[in-house]
Structure 1
Amino acid sequence: MPDLSGRTAVVTGAASGLGLEITRALTARGARVVLAVRDTARAERVRTALGATTVLGLDLLDLGSVRRFADEVRDRFTALDLLVLNAGISSQTLTLSAQGVESQFATNHLGHFALTGLLLDPLGRGQDPRVVTVSSAMYARATLDLDHLDGSGGYSPGRAYMRSKLANVLFGRELDRRLRGSGSPVTSRVAHPGVARTPLHTTYPSPVLRLLTKAIAGLAGREPAEAVAPILYAATSPDARPDALYGPTGPKVRPVIQAAPFRGPGTDEALGRALWERSERVTGVAYPVDASSSDA
């Protein structure tokens, strides 16, 4: 990782799991890190231990919270250099956001979509400004039906999670197309941690599924400090490209970072544009880039 002195980063879900290790690595290289979290008391302990800049409350399921968080960031920081969209929930029982959207999709995609749009202005004044969206390799097995975002028509917690991760990939790619077309200095990259030993697996509603995923993570999973390597590469390396999905391969310890082409539904540009348009309508956040710019 390069020296990050003088850079300011926002990391969502920064107080535990992957987010904690991302924050630890960025601060170790000199960055000022804003911890964007639901549990601010826990994050304050992390901030003190790591020397991060500040803690701000953020509930991605609540678009009002997203707007308040973005307002606070804009008030405190003239410029941002990095936004890491890391926070997420997995395999939840069916609950809906205030907008009537299934909670995993609303949290993992819509909250981050709104946050990014609201922070594009300070990002545009940053140094090599980047948005890094954290997805999952499971995105390629997902389908996305924009007419049933409320989970109707048959709800499966696992399929809903994969759908949100496909939305992450489509968003990251469409964001890059629109930024490039509008001449913005901000760039977008997508990465995934592979199988990682994080608290995310402990939230599954089924005890059997919790035991199964714990066993799989124990056998094949990487510790968070290793799993974040592709995310940090996408966030900081001058060689990281917007047109590749960065993930780990090889040994669990010190894995090789792989730049893989996007596959399957992640390459559907028409679906990416449709998702973007629906996301703007649901969140009420309109980006300062239009649809025609993505074709430039």
Structure 2
Amino acid sequence: MDNRPFVDVPTPAKAIGVSTNYERSPQGIEQVFASNCVGHQVLATNLLPLMKRTINQGKASNGRIAVASSSMHAFCRELNLDLLTSPTRLKPAYIDGVWRYARAKVGNILFARELSLRLMQEEDPASSKIYVNAFFPGNIVTDQWSVWDEYIGEALGSLLRRLFSIIGQSLEDGAANAIYLAASPKVISNSTRGQYFIPIAKPYKTTAIASDMKLARDLWGVLSRMKDHYLLGGLFYAQDWTEAKAAEALGPEEQAKTRTVDG
């Protein structure tokens, strides 16, 4: 009996919310982008060998990667890759936190689109059976919404939370969007790849910058270099775990054959 791990539907979704504080990771990457975008690439790409083995060994007929993004990506209309390690804010303090969060969410969509394209170009037959898409869970009021008090005051912040608790999405709606991409047979039958979805299960047009495939390719290169150069020290502990599991499950030869997406 094969007790080695199998993976077919990772959903990179954990994120830092809007923050008025400007911080960088220990490796010098702006903190929100480091966590919300670089971290997602580390997780997804290091799980790919396990996903391919799961498909090739018949444990799953396909794989899905659903990358969480946000409608707030629309607040970012520029993405200068040279400034991801800037030691200081790039925008006035009153909009900087919102813009940095939006920038990371643009990065999530671009990452999903570039990964989808790269998988389709690979020779491994399992690669074309992995469907990568991005999604917006919805306007779900959580504790993170308290940050709006710092932008618009406690009274308006409270009113905003009350309003969106009525007109926004429920936790169930937000989960349904991710579950659709992770489990619906329509994703396969429609060959849904590299798209962006809003609640519930609706493909939606993104901003021009989030559809820029040259920028997506350039961002992929930057993220890969960041991962290789910065993250070996353990900023994202998931990398060590996933790489160890991949090596354990695949063995050195098979792992070398399947790890082609990073190139």
**Fold-level match, TM-score > 0.5?**
yes
Aligned mates of 1:139, 1:228 — CA distance in 2: 19
Q: What corresponds to 1:85 in structure 2?
A: 12
Q: 1:77 to 1:195 in 2, by over 3 A?
A: farther
Aligned mates of 2:70, 2:210 — CA distance in 1: 11
Q: Do residues 129 (structure 1) and 129 (structure 2) align?
A: no
Q: Do residues 265 (structure 1) and 202 (structure 2) align?
A: no
CA RMSD of superposed structures (Å): 2.4
Q: What corresponds to 1:246 in structure 2?
A: 197
Q: Do residues 111 (structure 1) and 62 (structure 2) align?
A: no
Per-residue CA deviations over 1:133-162 (Å, capped at 9, x if unaligned) read 011122233121111113533360000000
Equivalent pairs, count: 209
TM-score by length of 2: 0.72
State the Cα distance separating 1:231 from its structure 2 match: 1.2
State the Cα distance separating 1:204 from its structure 2 match: 5.6
The structure with the largest alpha-carbon Rg is 2
**In 2, are the aligned partners of 1:131 and 1:189 still within 8 Å (CA)?**
yes
What amino acid is the match of 2:202? Q
TM-score by length of 1: 0.64
Q: Percent identity?
A: 26
Q: Do residues 222 (structure 1) and 169 (structure 2) align?
A: yes
What amino acid is the match of 2:8? D
Per-residue CA deviations over 1:87-115 (Å, capped at 9, x if unaligned) read 11111211111221111111100011111
What amino acid is the match of 2:80? D
Q: Do residues 163 (structure 1) and 90 (structure 2) align?
A: no
Which protein, 1 or 2, shows the higher relative CO under an 8 Å CA cutoff with sep ≥ 6?
2
**In 2, are the aligned partners of 1:243 and 1:261 still within 8 Å (CA)?**
no
Aligned mates of 1:233, 1:268 — CA distance in 2: 25
State the Cα distance separating 1:189 from its structure 2 match: 1.2
**Structure with more strand by fraction:** 1
Q: Do residues 180 (structure 1) and 120 (structure 2) align?
A: yes
Per-residue CA deviations over 1:25-55 (Å, capped at 9, x if unaligned) read xxxxxxxxxxxxxxxxxxxxxxxxxxxxxxx
Unmatched 5+ stretches in structure 2: 55-59, 232-258
Which among 84, 88, 98 is matched to residue 149 of structure 1?
84
Q: 1:243 to 1:275 in 2, by over 3 A?
A: closer
Q: Which shows bigger deviation, 113-122 or 182-191?
A: 182-191
Per-residue CA deviations over 1:57-107 (Å, capped at 9, x if unaligned) read xxxxxxxxxxxxxxxxxxx85320110011111112111112211111111
Question: Counterparts in 2 of 1:43-58, with a 5 A limit?
Answer: none
**In 1, are the aligned partners of 2:112 and 2:134 still within 8 Å (CA)?**
yes
**In 2, are the aligned partners of 1:99 and 1:282 still within 8 Å (CA)?**
no
What amino acid is the match of 1:146? L
Aligned mates of 2:160, 2:29 — CA distance in 1: 26
**In 1, are the aligned partners of 2:149 and 2:158 still within 8 Å (CA)?**
no
Question: Counterparts in 2 of 1:10-49, with a 5 A limit?
Answer: none
Unmatched 5+ stretches in structure 1: 1-75, 249-255, 292-296
Per-residue CA deviations over 1:240-280 (Å, capped at 9, x if unaligned) read 211431112xxxxxxx5312234311110110011100001
What amino acid is the match of 1:273? R
What amino acid is the match of 1:80? V
Q: What corresponds to 2:138 in structure 1?
A: 194
**In 2, are the aligned partners of 1:197 and 1:217 still within 8 Å (CA)?**
yes
- Name the SS of the counterpart of 2:173 in structure 1: helix
**In 1, are the aligned partners of 2:112 and 2:194 still within 8 Å (CA)?**
no
Q: What corresponds to 1:60 in structure 2?
A: none
Aligned mates of 1:138, 1:106 — CA distance in 2: 18
